[in-house]
Structure 1
């Protein structure tokens, strides 16, 4: 089975860098991915986090589209809970018309930051908020102009402008059977964030529950080195921490100190910190490729989203170059 590769970049501001220099490196990384034949370059959305420069994926996507020629560019994803679906649809309609068939609208369930971000972004919400499922369905209907006749937005006065004549890819970021069922219902693609939780049983259950004809992608951390000690050191530095509150709310953090700080602030909700093993393929280019091919067969997918956190951009370039060379047999 052949495989397709896409790339996720979170515009992480490393020591000695600024938001300006980091975003410039994100652009160069997208151009490198394009030159190597990667399918899609995804960017993320995070708020009030000083280490991350990508707060506005729709703005960054527009610049990346203008800075490349052929590679698709997408959000992974827009944190829909903060926004009115209609405005998201309008933004991506414009992007789609600027670069037809090159835009991917990825949608995330998370809040993309701490509670202060939610407070600021959702300050003016007055009506009882829609559920995520309701928002996702409404967004898909606006994009496809296919509201049921009985829906109030089915009237022509609510037709999205500019209208989207060609297909605009919609994908859901989700690591649960519930996400798979929602993506199937709305005929959207599904990106499984294996990099945040290396639970193969959960992955298998989600894959089984996803029955749409669209693309099922697995997002995984990749680090390429021939040095076993270097590989071990990299894995030890990677971690995923989830804070779980007694109301079911979950927030993910990349470091234990930040997770503990948040949990301490929410002791009234009986916050618990759970450490999870990250989903990572680490080793030589041949070893990583073999693991990707194994996953492709076992989980019935041909598409992976490569994530390279915790390394400077020159190393990121080396990783995707080595991976591309291996897949091409060079």
Structure 2
């Protein structure tokens, strides 16, 4: 079983965006040492509790601080950008960090409607054009535009010896079908989807190639501690939905004084069913059980806790339990 990391660079209460970004760099460095396969960082816009609006900049820093681990975006939100610019950026990163670059592509807005308009104008029109934009991006990266196309005369320089590996991210049959159509490896977001994930992945695997499933995991030395950490993360999700609090991940202490309504308690029960929470042995067993459903050999783990130390420890305990560095 391979394990990778998806980092959303969350900002904890009492901390700043700089603290969160520094914690992300530290997490990537530790992931490199612990034996994780990949470290990807997400893209979000105008979100108070998430610090990374530009994975490209972070990957330049993270690549220079790591040696082995594959690094990438999870994901570049392609409807916001011109394919040539994305190809230039990731070719440059792939030149600096040879044979280590992944380019995850998504089509979500990553923020509010206002932020989307500020970034790229008519986002819905750009989403409709995404299959064509994806084609252009792949042609740029592979340098294989048909000669009759104007773009065949240009290259997104610098051109690396090994191109970035493009992955398509999604949470539905539609995204899986697009990945299969384009011949791209696929990442399914189990942690943020109510779709029948195993069915989507099974259908994709009948047409496609490599698959990763992303799951929310919180691991601690004891089950009680893990559940406390998870409750903090779930309260954060509830507060974001209701536009309560300061938008940052609340502390465990905050969960103990928060008066959860009946509706919120039901929401928490539903969210908890999508998460893997427990001590190292319990988490391993839950991952193995999920593997029985998905039949994939690589899991991308997203862990959000108020304490950055607890987050690092969660990943370390999991790496040790699965002997990733062996």
Same fold (TM over 0.5): yes
Which band: TM-score by shorter chain? 0.7 to 0.9
CA contact (8 A) 2:13 2:306 kept: no
1:280 aligns with 2:275: yes
Q: Aligned pair 1:204/2:202, yes or no?
A: no
Describe the SS at the equivalent of 1:97.
helix
Partner SS state of residue 277, structure 1: helix
Inter-partner Cα distance in structure 2 for 1:164 and 1:90 = 10
Q: Per-residue deviation at 1:295? A: 2.4
Matched, 1:259 2:241: yes
Question: Which of 83, 90, 94 is equivalent to 1:96?
Answer: 94
Q: Per the alignment, do residues 233 and 133 of structure 1 end up closer, same or farther by CA in structure 2, a change over 3 Å counting? A: same
> How far has the Cα of 1:141 moved from its partner?
1.9
Q: Over aligned residues, Cα RMSD in angstroms?
A: 2.6
Write out per-residue CA displacement over residues 223-280 of structure 1, whole angstroms, 9 at most, x where no aligned residue: 113544444444444449xxxxxxxxxxxxx634543569xxxxxxxxxxx9663621
**Which of the pair has the greater relative contact order for Cα pairs under 8 Å at 6+ separation?**
2
* Conserved 8 A contact 1:11-1:53: yes
What is the aligned residue count?
Answer: 298
For residue 182 of structure 2, what is the aligned residue in structure 1?
Answer: 186
2:135 alignment partner, one of 137, 140, 143: 137
Equivalent residue, structure 1, for 2:320? 325
> Unaligned 5+ residue runs, structure 1?
241-253, 263-273
- 1:161 aligns to what SS in structure 2? coil
CA distance in 2, matches of 1:16, 1:182: 41
Equivalent in 168, 171, 187 of residue 167 of structure 2: 171
Deviations 1:128-181 (A, max 9, x none): 64522222222122111233455443x3x1333223442421111101111111
Shift of 1:77: 0.5
Counterpart secondary structure, 2:296 = coil
Q: Secondary structure at the match of 2:306?
A: coil
Alpha-carbon distance in structure 1 between the residues aligned to 2:23 and 2:240 = 26
Structure 2 regions of 5+ residues with no counterpart?
245-265
Residue number in structure 2 paired with 1:64: 62
Distance 1:26 1:117 in 2: 24
- Higher share in helix: 2
Instruction: Give the TM-score normalised by the residue count of structure 1.
Output: 0.82
Query: Structure 2 CA distance, aligned partners of 1:37 and 1:260?
Result: 38
TM-score by length of 2: 0.83
Q: Which residue of 1 aligns with 2:35?
A: 37
Contact 1:142 1:159 in 2 (8 A): yes
Match of 1:309 in 2: 304
The reply on whether 1:294 has 2:289 as its aligned counterpart is yes
Cα distance in 2 for partners of 1:39, 1:64 equals: 15
SS class of match (1:7): strand
Please tell me whether the aligned partners of residues 90 and 160 of structure 1 are also in contact (alpha carbons under 8 angstroms): yes
C-alpha separation between the residues in 2 aligned to 1:234 and 1:109? 30
Question: In 1, distance between residues paired with 2:172 and 2:146?
Answer: 28
In 1, the alpha carbon distance for the partners of 2:6 and 2:202 equals 24
